[in-house]
Structure 1
Amino acid sequence: MIDLDLTSAMWRKSSYSTGNGGICVEVATVRAGTGIRDSKLGAASPVLAFGHDAFARFLDAIKGGRLGR
């Protein structure tokens, strides 16, 4: 993970969120990378921060079923 400045980022609900039972994540993309946070906690949520290449690999792993639930 990297340190991203997400203070002015525009967060959006991820298209991968189920929307059921509050199981949603928000995603924000800035020049240096992408952040992911829990939508229930909003700005108080811890953020997973990725560089662009690492985020692309993360999404590929999710889509390919290589990450457990």
Structure 2
Amino acid sequence: MGSSQKLSNARWRRSSYSGNTGGDCVEVADLGLPGVAMRDSKNPEAGVLTVSPETYSAFVAASKTRSE
């Protein structure tokens, strides 16, 4: 996929629902064509999951449905 270069330049962001209390949080970065990267904000060196934009959209939609 060639995303290691893109990951080193990635702009990671947290959900606006995340507070500053050190709780569980997922960070995401838009990688363009390869997709969206996700990682654990508490342990970013543990690894990155890269998914297609469609898969990420489905993940977000399912998360919203389950939290309602």
- TM-score, reference length from structure 2: 0.72
Which residue number corresponds to residue 27 of structure 1? 28
Q: 1:61 to 1:52 in 2, by over 3 A?
A: same
> How many Å apart are 1:19 and its aligned residue?
4.3
Runs of 4+ off more than 3 Å: 16-21
Q: How many residues align?
A: 63
Q: Which structure 2 residue ranges, 5 or more long, are not aligned?
A: none
Higher relative contact order (CA 8 A, sep 6+): 1
Aligned to 1:62: 63
Measure, in 2, the Cα distance between the counterparts of 1:24 and 1:41.
10
TM-score norm. by structure 1 comes to 0.71
SS class of match (2:36): strand
Note the residue ranges of structure 1 that are not aligned, 5 or more in a row: none
User: For 1:49, what is the secondary structure of its paired residue?
Assistant: strand
SS of the residue aligned with 2:58? helix
User: Structure 1 56/4 Cα, relative in aligned 2: closer, same or farther at 3 Å?
Assistant: farther
Looking at secondary structure, tell me which structure has more strand per residue: 1
